[in-house]
Amino acid sequence: MTKIKTAVIGAAGYTGGELLRILVHHSDCELVCVHSNSQKGKKVSDVHPDLIGDCKLVFTDEVPTEGIDAVFLGLPHGETKGFLESHPFPAETVIIDLSTDFRDESNGFVYGLPEVNAAKIKTAKRIANPGCFATGIQLALAPAIAKGWVKDSVHISGITGSTGAGKKLAETSHFSYRTGNMSVYKLFTHQHLKEIKQTFRQINGDFNSDLLFVPYRGNFSRGIWVTAYFPFEGTEAEAVEAYKTFYQNAAFTHVSDQDIDMKQAVNTNKCILHLQKEGGQLVIYSAIDNLVKGASGQAVQNFNLAFGLEEKSGLNLKSIAF
């Protein structure tokens, strides 16, 4: 089989590096262009030292628009539209954008949450990859939204590792700030809420509940833990059965009967869920890796779907666990 000629734009950051780590071992992918304005001329393995022996490419600031089958865009939020205007790729080129720019499904982009939109992704040429918190929250609540169980406000808390803030230096991602520390940011106003509500309204046109989301900065480097709960009149067994049915064909989302922890998901493309009913509330726990299922791994999952490949190709990753 002819390999898919692939470019990664904005590949010097955490999500770009994670994309490269997955794609260099993807049997159907041929990396032909690794782009970075800030690192041009440097070996990829000098910027991402863990790729020594795996990637011999050099960063470039030049991007050919012809002869490329797939493009991953890892540019900062707000820069993708301008990049695509100055780099008009052919209509048949599959473009997967990891920024927020097209998550409203504008400009012909399909929202790339495979557990909900797999059929649309399979025929899409423009895919907007979901945000990390958005992924963990949507997968925690989508089955309940589909069932119409959520009638009032949903309480959600989520804690993310420092890599979620990106590679650029900032006080709140600095080791001295993060270690032994926790803090709240963007209380009830997180930017991912817009795309979450968009998906929930697509799943259930009657959805109109408030999402009361409290995001926390965690004192670890990678991973996301979400806890969501709402009043529920059914039984725990009923809820578990509904969730398992909803995700029965999902390649990476799993409902566990046992208590879960975040390390089960870190370094994998899995979302692992656990449900519990207590005090009249249905509580859902959701664990993902913010850089894999929350970003680069999900982007490759969308790549696989768009090219008709096995959905797990390149993504058979095991958690570190301990």
Radius of gyration of the chain (CA): 19
Amino acid identity of residue 106, one-letter, is S
Residue 34 DSSP code: E
Q: Tell me what pLDDT residue 133 has.
A: 97
Q: CA-to-CA distance for 87 and 93, rounded, in angstroms?
A: 12
Q: CA-to-CA distance for 169 and 159, rounded, in angstroms?
A: 20
Structural tokens at position 257: 């009967």
Beta strands per DSSP E along 75-202 = 94-97, 110-111, 126-128, 154-160, 183-184
List the single range of 162-166, 248-252, 261-265, 290-294 with lowest mean pLDDT: 162-166
Average model confidence (pLDDT) for the chain?
Answer: 95
- At 61, which CATH number? 3.40.50.720
Instruction: Tell whether 144 and 124 lie within a shared domain.
Output: no
Instruction: Tell whether 40 and 179 lie within a shared domain.
Output: no
10 found inside a domain: yes
Q: Provide mean pLDDT across the span 243-247.
A: 98
Instruction: Tell whether 58 and 109 lie within a shared domain.
Output: yes
315 found inside a domain: no
Instruction: Tell whether 125 and 136 lie within a shared domain.
Output: no
Instruction: Tell whether 194 and 89 lie within a shared domain.
Output: no
Helical pair 236-246 and 132-147, crossing angle rounded to 10 deg? 120
Q: CA-to-CA distance for 111 and 192, rounded, in angstroms?
A: 13
194 found inside a domain: yes
Q: Provide mean pLDDT across the span 228-240.
A: 98
Q: Provide mean pLDDT across the span 226-254.
A: 98
Instruction: Tell whether 283 and 142 lie within a shared domain.
Output: yes
Quote the distance between the C-alpha of residue 133 and its chain's center: 8
Q: Provide mean pLDDT across the span 134-162.
A: 97
Report yes or no: 7 and 68 within 8 Å, Cβ to Cβ.
yes
- At 166, which CATH number? 3.30.360.10
Amino acid identity of residue 15, one-letter, is T
Instruction: Tell whether 284 and 154 lie within a shared domain.
Output: yes
Please name which of 106, 270, 129, 138 lies closest in space to residue 213, comparing C-alpha atoms: 138
**Domain extent at residue 89:** 4-130+293-306
268 found inside a domain: yes
pLDDT of 165 > 90? The answer is: no
Instruction: Tell whether 208 and 271 lie within a shared domain.
Output: yes
275 found inside a domain: yes
116 found inside a domain: yes
Instruction: Tell whether 208 and 95 lie within a shared domain.
Output: no
Percent of the chain clearing pLDDT 90 (strictly above):
92
Q: Tell me what pLDDT residue 294 has.
A: 98
Helix ranges (H only) for 103-172 are 114-121, 132-147
Q: How confident is the model at residue 208 (pLDDT cuts 50, 70, 90)?
A: very high
Is there a catalytic annotation at residue 132? Answer: yes
Q: How confident is the model at residue 1 (pLDDT cuts 50, 70, 90)?
A: low
pTM more than 0.85: yes
Instruction: Tell whether 151 and 99 lie within a shared domain.
Output: no
pLDDT of 211 > 90? The answer is: yes
Q: Provide mean pLDDT across the span 112-141.
A: 98
pLDDT of 90 > 70? The answer is: yes
Q: How confident is the model at residue 170 (pLDDT cuts 50, 70, 90)?
A: confident
Q: CA-to-CA distance for 269 and 316, rounded, in angstroms?
A: 8
15 found inside a domain: yes
Instruction: Tell whether 191 and 252 lie within a shared domain.
Output: yes
pLDDT of 205 > 70? The answer is: yes
Structural tokens at position 88: 């008009």
pLDDT of 313 > 70? The answer is: yes
Instruction: Tell whether 187 and 122 lie within a shared domain.
Output: no
Which of 29, 55, 132, 271 is an active site residue? Answer: 132
Q: CA-to-CA distance for 22 and 75, rounded, in angstroms?
A: 18
Neighbouring-strand partners of residue 271 = 253
Report yes or no: 136 and 142 within 8 Å, Cβ to Cβ.
no
313 found inside a domain: no
Number of domains into which the chain is organized: 2
